[in-house]
Amino acid sequence: MHWKSTLATAALASLAFAALTGTASAAGPTCADGVIKVGAVSTVTGPADFSEVPKATQAAFDAVNAAGGINGCKIEYTIADDKADPAVAAQAARDLIDNQEVVALVGSASLLDCAVNATTYARKNVLSVQGLGVDAACFSSPSVAPVNVGPYTLSTAVAYYATNELKTQKLCAFFIIIGGTQEAYKKGIENWEKLTGQKVHLLDLTLPFQGDLTPYVIKARDAGCDAVLTNQVEPQVVQLIKTVDAQKVTGINWLFLAPGYTEQVAKALADTQQPIYVGTEWEPYTEQGSEANKQWTADMTKAGQPLTAFSQGGYLAAQIFLEVLKGIDGEVTRESVAEALLKMKPISNPLAGSPYVFGEAATHNPMQATKVMKLEKGAWTVQTPEWVVLPAIQ
């Protein structure tokens, strides 16, 4: 046989073997009409504005599109405002799924999207890589997996830090309960009890969203709390500490969740002597010189987006989704994206202390790490250069 014929025969045999064994080079993701449609349901107007989250997702997608897309596929991204209205949220999800024909939800951030739409997502086989999981349903649904730690797990993590590093012996927790969050917060404290062997000294689930906080400060003082954990947001954090100062209470470490970690809180409480700690959900955004923040900072600055924790969440959701897309071999459809997310291997990103995985579990709370910040003379300082990672609960 002529040597050229021999080579050709060998090449054909090799290709045939590769096809049979699945070792042929992957074609990568493909798309109909050159676009991959993605959406987000977020609270933009109403009692809260989480728009920084999907806007950061949009910026990350825009950057990829400007560079030619994913294997030539451009991301077409639609942000729907649910206005914190259940009926509007339900309609927004239906429109994205049935009319826009999105393959997934990415970078959503809403007061009620998960509670209203999680069952719809599951029924329609549309999965949500949530940029900011807020309500408890975001962490208890098979169709949603947030990229943030969330207030319930973060409560466990901050309390765990207080026990191990601040040597807390009498932890008290005061929670604002909105909607169906009571059991989730109670579970967060129960998980801390399992991890530490301690019992919560005082658990109060009546903290008001608005109103006089003096009775709660007095209650904490009289109970002998050496640390108080609350889930208050920015204005209430400031109000609480000013009330503590007015009552001249000392000897208590004040522990807050990620909503308390803002530059406005730092400025408003610059003169207090109270020991104030907050848990972050991602790499501390105020650490602009950190290597972990480098790419996010560059991309957000180029896009004209603010450098906030919210934009970290949206950016991270986009990066994880893009990584999953790259692993799809063939057409990107709702079904292929769902399969890729359910079968994905964990993805690490420097912005987060835990690898992200969607997976096939009935509930999803993949992020299990925090960094703790302390307020000192009007500035946030890192207390934990290394991530505080929660151990698995037996």
20: confidence class by pLDDT, cuts 50, 70, 90: very low
Cross-strand pairs, 380: 375
The reply to whether CATH 3.40.50.2300 applies to domain 29-149+289-363 is: yes
Q: What do you get for the CA distance between the two ends of the chain, in Å?
A: 67
State how far the Cα of 140 lies from the Cα of 151, in Å rounded to an integer. Answer: 13
**Taking the alpha carbons of 278, 284, 286, 287 in that order, is the dihedral positive or negative?**
positive
Residues 193-228 pLDDT 10s: 999 999 999 999 999 999 999 999 999 999 999 999
385 dihedral zone (left: phi>0; alpha: psi -120 to 50; beta): alpha
Residues 352-382 pLDDT 10s: 999 999 999 999 999 999 999 999 999 999 9
Inter-CA distances, 376 with 33, 186, 264, Å? 54, 30, 14
Tokens 């769902």 -> residue: 338
Looking at the chain, list the stretches that DSSP marks H as alpha helix, in order from N- to C-terminal side: 3-21, 52-66, 86-94, 113-124, 151-165, 182-196, 214-223, 234-246, 263-268, 294-303, 309-326, 334-343
Confidence at residue 393, expressed as pLDDT on a 0 to 100 scale: 86
Inter-CA distances, 62 with 70, 106, 217, 247, 287, Å? 11, 14, 48, 51, 25
State how far the Cα of 375 lies from the Cα of 246, in Å rounded to an integer. Answer: 19
180: confidence class by pLDDT, cuts 50, 70, 90: confident
Show the tokens assigned to 354.
């835990």
State how far the Cα of 313 lies from the Cα of 352, in Å rounded to an integer. Answer: 10
Q: What is the CA 92 to chain-centroid distance, rounded?
A: 21
Whether the per-residue pLDDT at 2 is higher than 50: the answer is no
CB 138 within 8 A of CB 43: no
CB 159 within 8 A of CB 191: no
For the chain, percent of residues with pLDDT exceeding 90: 90
Whether the per-residue pLDDT at 33 is higher than 70: the answer is yes
Q: Counting beta carbons within 10 angstroms of the beta carbon of residue 251, is it exposed (0 to 12), middle (13 to 18) or buried (19 or more)? A: exposed
CB 82 within 8 A of CB 43: yes
Q: What is the CA 371 to chain-centroid distance, rounded?
A: 14
Whether the per-residue pLDDT at 100 is higher than 60: the answer is yes
Mean pLDDT, the chain, as a whole number? 93
State how far the Cα of 297 lies from the Cα of 305, in Å rounded to an integer. Answer: 9
Q: How many Cβ atoms from other residues are within 10 Å of residue 196's Cβ? A: 16
Show the tokens assigned to 340.
């890729």
State how far the Cα of 139 lies from the Cα of 146, in Å rounded to an integer. Answer: 7
Residues 275-285 pLDDT 10s: 999 999 999 99
Tokens 């739409």 -> residue: 117
Residues 283-314 pLDDT 10s: 999 998 999 999 999 999 999 999 999 999 99
State how far the Cα of 127 lies from the Cα of 161, in Å rounded to an integer. Answer: 33
Looking only at Cα atoms, what is the longest distance across the chain? 98
**Taking the alpha carbons of 284, 289, 294, 297 in that order, is the dihedral positive or negative?**
positive
State how far the Cα of 331 lies from the Cα of 366, in Å rounded to an integer. Answer: 27
State how far the Cα of 52 lies from the Cα of 234, in Å rounded to an integer. Answer: 16
**Average pLDDT for 20-25:** 42
pTM: 0.91
126: confidence class by pLDDT, cuts 50, 70, 90: very high
| All CATH 3.40.50.2300 domain ranges in the chain, comma separated | 29-149+289-363, 151-280+371-389
State how far the Cα of 244 lies from the Cα of 264, in Å rounded to an integer. Answer: 18
The CATH code of the domain at 151-280+371-389 is: 3.40.50.2300
Whether the per-residue pLDDT at 22 is higher than 60: the answer is no
